[in-house]
Structure 1
């Protein structure tokens, strides 16, 4: 795999860490800023809204811009947002900083996926995209548990400073390893929106919406649930986040290989497997 994919994966690692790590630090943030757990949870909602509105706006606004410059610009926005999170003196400022950080999230992964697929042979495209998204899932294996542990030890702000450093490393890697001239199709805004009329696109979007809703309904409050309801220690929360991330990473790597061979049967099979596991553990 080209080193350019590694550069994209490093950026994905940083973005994934800053998105998920606050879930492990929710009680610490709420206590430090003197807000309730539900109010602190809105920081995650604010980030999600930033992703929802930022992705289409930035995707349309940068449709005809050079891909390398666009990805670097979004990474710089990510660095700025995390630095503002680390410096936020109050809840309102932290909320604004989270939204700023989130603006580049969806667009980066959308553009990054296209770039990743264009860096390899056609029969390796799914694996290339999975490679980039491995950075996102590795964020749950390493970034979130380590970031949570760092935040519990040195204060939650230290975690955002550490993520800012990851962003700087990602920007350097993209500057060095991404090709200067990345091939791109001329964008047509009308055709960009017309794609939403295709059944297979709506199916993919629907699956993503349902999967994300089910995940974040629980994952948002995983730290207070584990500590206050099940009696898990802060150290135990870190271990649980690690186990969660291992599952995500293994699934991402396996999914990329299966998609390159048989896409639809793989999707159906994995969905059925998830339903069987949930049924077995909820009896």
Structure 2
């Protein structure tokens, strides 16, 4: 039974990697796509933007629509859509067709990822749920960060079609593994659409959504411009820039692993600590980012915190509305994408107005706002559970942390 559960989690993790890699991997081959389809790089960039827009739009709705269907059937359907989209992308010579082959899988993206989180959480007790969920996040991080240089490398040593074939191969492997090794997973208790939508009437739902938007904005408002920062402020070479980006990706995966343990043992302290530590990292980055070695060390710590933050974002929403897990995961995915978009836009504004070095201020601004809403969310959460002690923990801990009289996760 344990081996079967572990195999299921592994298949879901690789499946999430394949889907996130299909989304983000195009970043690494945009120049080749622009040349192949005879369009500008900015036009080719729509292949990434339109996918993100599709995920943000379908995030709250598509997981809700599929929430009552057998999990295995949903997995097979979504993976089949991705495989078909991947194959069309390889062989089409029409840019519009390529856009369509991107937007349709994007609409199904939140269905699989939301389902992966839900199935992973259901495989263990409620208290231990963050552990298997953190393994799914390894697939998310690998797809977002590691997949980009892999696809870019394949394109550089072969050609665009073979690079895009990588997306199809991963998804085909997962589809076959799902058909062969994943048992039928019927929905234990079907929740009506109305009951799930009722969670939107709860203030804690909206407080949690705002927290996710702000935390993701804090991360991606700065990370989106990390390569630019390294080249213009740290003055690193192309090879060193790539190495530091890899450090961030590897650290992100470490953060995913740590998050499972931290959220299992002390979720409140973990949630409150994260923005404080991230703020400290950004302050150090602002004053020492021009030096290569300190920058590499900062990136390592920053990447770990970013991995923990991703898990916190999912936990914050799903723990607030446990009565609608699929819908909650959809809300998380949509909120995270909105936060990424807002953060990138705000970071760009700071760079335009003040210079690249000051992009850190975009992250710090989001951090300050996130602390406020984390305290409000935690207060509301503990109020609903009639736990006065938990109500006090957030405020007391954050004050002690600011005064440096408490140690992280002690």
Which structure has the bigger radius of gyration?
2
Native 8 Å contact 1:41 1:221 kept in 2: no
Unaligned runs of 5+ in 2: 288-410
Q: Distance in 2 between matches of 1:112 and 1:91?
A: 31
Q: Encode CA deviations 1:147-179: one digit per residue, 9 max, x unaligned.
A: 221122223332221111110111122223323
Q: Which residue of 1 aligns with 2:147?
A: 143
Give the alignment of 1:110-259 within 5 angstroms.
110-140=114-144, 142-213=146-217, 232-233=237-238, 238-259=242-263
How far the C-alpha of 1:11 sits from its partner, in A, is: 0.2
Q: Distance in 1 between matches of 2:108 and 2:142?
A: 19
Q: Distance in 2 between matches of 1:131 and 1:266?
A: 18
Q: Which residue of 1 aligns with 2:43?
A: 39
Native 8 Å contact 1:56 1:107 kept in 2: no
Change (3 A) 1:282 1:41: farther
Native 8 Å contact 2:66 2:111 kept in 1: no
Q: Encode CA deviations 1:97-145: one digit per residue, 9 max, x unaligned.
A: 2112212211211122111111123332111111122112123464222
Q: Distance in 1 between matches of 2:81 and 2:134?
A: 24
Q: Which residue of 2 aligns with 1:282?
A: 286
The count of corresponding residues between Structure 1 and Structure 2 is: 282
Q: Which residue of 1 aligns with 2:406?
A: none
Change (3 A) 1:116 1:261: same
The structure with higher relative contact order (CA 8 Å, sep 6+) is: 1
Native 8 Å contact 2:227 2:245 kept in 1: no
Q: What secondary structure does 1:282 align onto?
A: helix
Q: Please report the TM-score for the alignment, with normalisation by the length of structure 2.
A: 0.62
Q: Distance in 2 between matches of 1:225 and 1:163?
A: 29
How far the C-alpha of 1:57 sits from its partner, in A, is: 3.5
How far the C-alpha of 1:220 sits from its partner, in A, is: 6.1
Change (3 A) 1:223 1:96: farther
Q: Which residue of 1 aligns with 2:18?
A: 14
RMSD after superposition: 2.7
Give the alignment of 1:22-101 within 5 angstroms.
22-101=26-105
Q: Please report the TM-score for the alignment, with normalisation by the length of structure 1.
A: 0.87
Unaligned runs of 5+ in 1: none
Query: Are residues 1:266 and 2:254 paired?
Result: no
Change (3 A) 1:153 1:231: farther
Q: What secondary structure does 2:129 align onto?
A: helix
Native 8 Å contact 1:83 1:164 kept in 2: yes
Q: Distance in 1 between matches of 2:151 and 2:42?
A: 21
Q: Distance in 1 between matches of 2:87 and 2:244?
A: 27
Find runs of 4+ consecutive structure 1 residues off by over 4 angstroms: 213-232, 235-238
Native 8 Å contact 1:41 1:220 kept in 2: no
Q: Distance in 1 between matches of 2:42 and 2:215?
A: 22
How far the C-alpha of 1:53 sits from its partner, in A, is: 2.5
How far the C-alpha of 1:226 sits from its partner, in A, is: 7.1
